[in-house]
Structure 1
Amino acid sequence: MAEVVHADVLKQILIRLHVEDLIRCKRVCKSWHSLITSPRFINRHLNRSYNKDRYNNELSSRRVRISHRHCSLVGSSNGLVCIISCINSRKVLVGNPLTREVRQLRLPGWMTHSPPACSGFGYDSSKDDYKLIVGAEKRKNRTCVQVLSLKSNVWRVIREVKYIFCTKIGILCNGALHWIVRDERMKMLIIAYDLSKEEFKEIPQPKGEGCLFRFSTSRLGIVKECLCIFGYACEDDVWIMKKYNVKQSWELLPRHHEWKRSIIHYLSLPKDESFFHHDVGSWFSGNSSRLQFFIDAPIFVESLVSP
């Protein structure tokens, strides 16, 4: 009985530790290593990390950005970060910056000489899998979209969509990736790709379609776990969808809304392409920045998830 109680107390202690501390704890003994690397423990630790940020009244979220002229940050989900190299045959890096685990992928062969028309990365809860989405313009107003499952490591064509993508990186919200596009009639829309159902759908806009035309540089982002529309100019409006996919739930935030602060993690990558071949080492340099400039940056959560 004492051993059972001791094991339960140990779990309660370990679950509260940061990833860097847990990595060191794995070296203590085989039983600790087995516990920390178990799927059950990893999921519990991930959920606790989400809740710790969610109920922090002073913090909006932790976000990740990259400053590297040869790389594009595609997205982040459950602690994994996806980066596309703009050179080196357009390789893709999926890794956990805290555990230093890295996995290399390749884009489809026909996409190695031009940047994707759209891309996105997220978690499919129905299959417990992570998916990378990329699209390439095939002809006028047509984009061929493909998906790569990390479990299968096989590219599949989803379909050709009759859109021009105005925003290139998909914003992850409610299990779907979101972009602003123009259709064949040049009408601006918000579309979403559901990662579990593997289908596209249109997301209703606030007050019809006017808000997208109002900004010459309209963007999508996340505020308080909700999808939002904003412009980069300080005087632009910010619309937030309080209830997902419900038109009536869009709310215009006050111009002088007091933003909570976000912790911005900048990916510190080598200036050359060596990180695609070797251990990336220490990825992060932390900084605290005002939220309104980064609401389109993907949300990062501390986790033990392996790519």
Structure 2
Amino acid sequence: MSRSPTGLMIHHNSIKVGTTRYEPGILKWVVIEDEPDHHHLHHDPVMSLDLNLASVFQDSQIRLVGSVNGLLCLWQFGRFCDETYICNLVTREYMTLPRHKYYREGYAIIVYGFGVGLQTNEYKVIRIFQGDIPPNPTSTSRPSLLEAEVYTLGSGQWRCLGHVPYWLDWSHGPFLNGHVHWIVWDEDSLEKICAFDIDNETFELFPSPPLETITESQVHFQSLGVLKGCLCESDIYDSRFTIWVMKEYGIKKSWHKEVVIKEIISPIQEWEMWDQAYVLHYLKDGTILMVYDEYKLLAYSTRSKIIEDTWLFDRYLSAITYRPTFLKLHEFLRERVDVFETST
């Protein structure tokens, strides 16, 4: 299974109108049949995991943090919970990490990352608390508190990393080349990407693509991903969607415009990008898979210049690339390992 092709892990959550009850949703593994002349996405129901049936996740929400070597990192949040889990969908094992040191009552943005060191081979979860004291849920300015902590699987405890010098986007931080990456929100920052070194546990500015501005645009969104094994950035305006790819890791001059979409065409209608989209995977036939506004799983053909809805899932979904393995969580000492009691 470790040699199986890359697929997708979908977190699907159908929100019920008229109810205030939280639901954790369902994890669904999508197998990609990828050939040079065609592709096919297949949802494997046997590998689905209905978190709504797991007692540990009741009346809460789940966020898909990341996946490394078949291990999934999940963040559980809700009215009375703030927990982090590592699980393997193949073995149905999961472990609950200890309560966070920086757990606080009140409003805060939590930034997550998950990766493995290139030198130490240690798996680590990074958690950054971005908030104000006292809490101010309406503030759009730089938070007064930016603190980070890290958890090494098998250590049994979180460690404080202290102050983080950058204000980071809270969305998914892709892992690549021993680093987790996020968009930087500080307006005066010389670079707009921050990279966390898993081995050295340091936050550093990372070379970002040239900043382009469309003054007449009403929206501007940025997101990071991994495309063809390279770091990529989606630069989204309402009239243009650009995908930048860093051909040589860490080299600023290697940023290249892989795709520029000035008019997104659909067989149904002409679309404009009015919300965030992030790139998932590049297929051999030139198709790029992406998620738009946690609402649709889209496929853009670089050959036909047409974007289509895969119609594979209903709305309210997030996704990451996923490659299954039989890595046992029992290999990490000092961790309690449980098995999901749900049925497929």
> Counterpart of 2:342?
none
Aligned to 1:125: 118
| Equivalent-residue separation in structure 2 for 1:121 and 1:198 (angstroms) | 12
Structure 2, unaligned runs of 5 or more: 14-22, 24-60, 133-142, 262-281, 292-296, 301-306, 311-317, 330-344
Change (3 A) 1:188 1:182: farther
Shift of residue 198 of structure 1? 1.1
Could you tell me how far 1:223 is from its partner in structure 2? 0.5
TM-score, normalised relative to structure 2:
0.58
Contact 2:244–2:259 (CA<8 Å) still a contact in 1?
Answer: no
Do 1:162 and 1:184's aligned partners in 2 also have CA atoms closer than 8 Å? no
1:64 pairs, out of 9, 29, 36, with: 9
Structure that is richer in helix per residue = 1
1:192-203 counterparts in 2 under 5 A? 192-203=195-206
List aligned pairs for 1:105-120, cutoff 5 A.
Answer: 105-111=97-103, 113=105, 114=107, 116-120=109-113
Instruction: Decide which of 233, 249, 257 is 1:252's aligned counterpart.
Output: 257
Question: Structure 2 matches for 1:63-212, cutoff 5 A?
Answer: 63-68=8-13, 70-87=61-78, 88-111=80-103, 113=105, 114=107, 116-137=109-130, 139=132, 140=143, 142-183=145-186, 185=188, 189-207=192-210, 209-210=211-212
Shift of 1:82: 0.8
Cross-structure match for 2:322: 300
How far apart are 1:254 and its partner, in Å?
Answer: 3.4
8 Å CA contact 2:193–2:205 kept in 1: the answer is: yes
Residue 182 of structure 1, CA deviation: 2.4
Seen in structure 2, the aligned counterparts of structure 1 residues 111 and 234 have a Cα distance that, compared at 3 Å, is farther
Distance 1:248 1:211, change over 3 A: farther
- TM-score computed with the length of structure 1 as normaliser: 0.64
**Residues 94, 104 of structure 1: 8 Å contact kept:** yes
The structure 2 residue matched to 1:230, chosen from 223, 234, 238, is: 234
Cα distance change of structure 1 residues 220 and 107 upon mapping to structure 2, 3 Å threshold: farther
Q: Aligned-pair distance for 1:212?
A: 11
Aligned length: 228
Change (3 A) 1:109 1:169: same
Matched, 1:243 2:248: yes
RMSD across aligned positions (CA): 3.4
Q: Residues 151 and 126 from structure 1, CA distance in 2 versus in 1: closer, same or farther, beyond 3 angstroms? A: farther
1:96-152 deviation digits (Å, cap 9, x = unpaired):
001111111234143254554311111123222211110112553541011011110
| Counterpart selection for 2:299 from 284, 290, 297 | 290
The 2-side partners of 1:107 and 1:212 are apart by 44
**1:65 to partner: Cα distance:** 2.8
Deviation at 1:91, TM superposition (A): 1.5
Decide whether the 8 Å contact of 1:62 with 1:301 is kept in 2: yes
- Name the amino acid aligned to 1:78: N
Change in Cα spacing, 1:195 to 1:251, as seen in structure 2 (3 Å) is same
8 Å contact from structure 2 (residues 111, 130) kept in 1: no
Q: How do residues 263-278 of structure 1 correspond to structure 2 at under 5 angstroms?
A: none
Per the alignment, residue 38 of structure 1 pairs with: none
Amino acid across the alignment from 1:250: W
The answer to whether the Cα contact below 8 Å between 2:111 and 2:128 also exists between their aligned partners in 1 is: yes
Contiguous gaps of at least 5 residues in structure 1: 1-17, 19-45, 54-60, 265-287
- Work out the CA distance in 2 between the residues paired with 1:261 and 1:157: 38
Paired residues of 2:191 and 2:206 also in contact (CA < 8 A) = no
For 1:242, the aligned partner's letter is: K
Quote the offset at 1:299 in angstroms: 2.1
The SS at the match of 2:259 is coil
Would the aligned equivalents of 1:93 and 1:103 in 2 still touch at CA under 8 Å?
Answer: yes
Q: Answer whether contact 1:85 1:92 (CA < 8 A) is retained.
A: yes
Alignment CA distance shift 1:186-1:254 (3 Å):
closer
